[in-house]
Amino acid sequence: MGIVIEVKDLRKTFKTHKREAGFGNAVKSLFKREYVITDALKGISFTIEEGEVVGFIGPNGAGKSTTIKALSGILYPSGGEVNVLGFIPWKDRISYVSNIGVVFGQKSQLWWDLPALDSFYLNKFIYKIPEREFKERLSFLLKYLSLEELAKKPVRDLSLGERMKCQLVAALLHRPRLVFLDEPSIGLDAISKNLFRDFIIAENKKYGTTFIITTHDMQEIERLCKRVIIINNGLIVYDGDLATIKKKFLNKKLVDVILEEKGKRFSFPGAKLLETEDYRFRVELDTEKASVKSLVNHILKSYDVEDINIADPDIEEIIRKIYGGRT
């Protein structure tokens, strides 16, 4: 298994025309052009090996989509080098695309007024997929994602989640070696999310397909990715094992408790009360100071509890900490 993606000092600067609202300003801006410069990528470098499933995470505006766009060849970078499967994506576009699959969760690549099935047939043509292989792969994918009937309806009549599933089919039909998924689980319900994750794991095992995924869903990352690349403000702030950052930064749990009785006080060593209302409270537990089990035991013993929920802090929080330089 060799290196499939090599990125060196990748940069992207967007120059957008600044215009104030209003007609007068529109006229003025015809004469005096002002620009806003955004350094979306400030020089990022990484390599990815064949068969890896890598999570690309970071807050909104960090540069994740810009990276995916440069890697999939739809964006021309301002500087740096990218080599994917021996191609320079934005240069060798036509020969390159048959090797990759791309899903942009925010933007559908399917024909809006046509049934998804038509888009799939178009892909068969574009990627020159042999008839038998296409039929087999298509029926497998449609069945797996329960899309047999839905794929016959115009895409515009589908729900967000259904469209996403169709997009996934379109991206994977030609069995690409490399798949880029930019926020692929937007709009998916819990069942579809699971299906989708299992599917990625299965494809990766069976064909050694490499996946690059951006998502805000920490559970998704945990389930799928051994390695994560964290990007913030156009720079990579962490590249490595997920287990390591988890150990380092995920030493907190959020515990929400709903009570059947009113107005009880809370205190427990190692836990900090974040919010409190008559019938509920939320605490943050430092798992290095006390275990989840001991806290839950304490809560169950001390209160009349209706419900308890234990969750990881969200990804934004972890990233903020990493970026804040706490080690």
Taking the complex as a whole, how short is the minimal distance between the CB of residue 124 and ligand ADP, in angstroms? 30
CB contact set of 45 (below 8 Å; sequence gap of 6+): 7, 8, 9, 10, 80, 236
Which residue ranges make up the site for ligand ADP (CB under 6 A)?
A: 14, 16, 38, 40, 58, 60-66
- C-alpha 277: how far from chain center: 34
Taking the complex as a whole, how short is the minimal distance between the CB of residue 14 and ligand ADP, in angstroms? 3
Kindly report each contact of residues 220-223 with a partner whose C-beta sits within 8 Å and lies 24 or more positions away, as own/partner.
220/55, 220/185, 220/193, 221/55, 221/57, 221/315, 222/246, 223/197
Q: Report which of 251, 274, 241, 278 is spatially closest to residue 263, judged by C-alpha positions.
A: 278
User: Which partner in ligand ADP, Mg ion, none is near 58 (CB below 5 to 8 A by kind)?
Assistant: ligand ADP
Taking the complex as a whole, how short is the minimal distance between the CB of residue 58 and ligand ADP, in angstroms? 6
User: Which partner in Mg ion, ligand ADP, none is near 14 (CB below 5 to 8 A by kind)?
Assistant: ligand ADP
Dihedral pair phi/psi, residue 46, rounded to 5°: -170, 160
Which CB atom, from 10 or from 250, has the smaller least distance to Mg ion? 10
Taking the complex as a whole, how short is the minimal distance between the CB of residue 181 and ligand ADP, in angstroms? 13
Binding mask 37-76 toward Mg ion (x if CB under 5 A, else -) reads ---------------------------xx-----------
Binding mask 130-149 toward Mg ion (x if CB under 5 A, else -) reads --------------------
Q: Does position 185 bind Mg ion by CB under 5 A?
A: no
Taking the complex as a whole, how short is the minimal distance between the CB of residue 105 and Mg ion, in angstroms? 8
CB contact set of 261 (below 8 Å; sequence gap of 6+): 279, 303, 304
**Which residues within the stretch 225-254 sit at the binding site for Mg ion (CB under 5 A)?**
none
Which CB atom, from 63 or from 89, has the smaller least distance to ligand ADP? 63
Interface contacts to Mg ion, rule CB under 5 A: 64-65
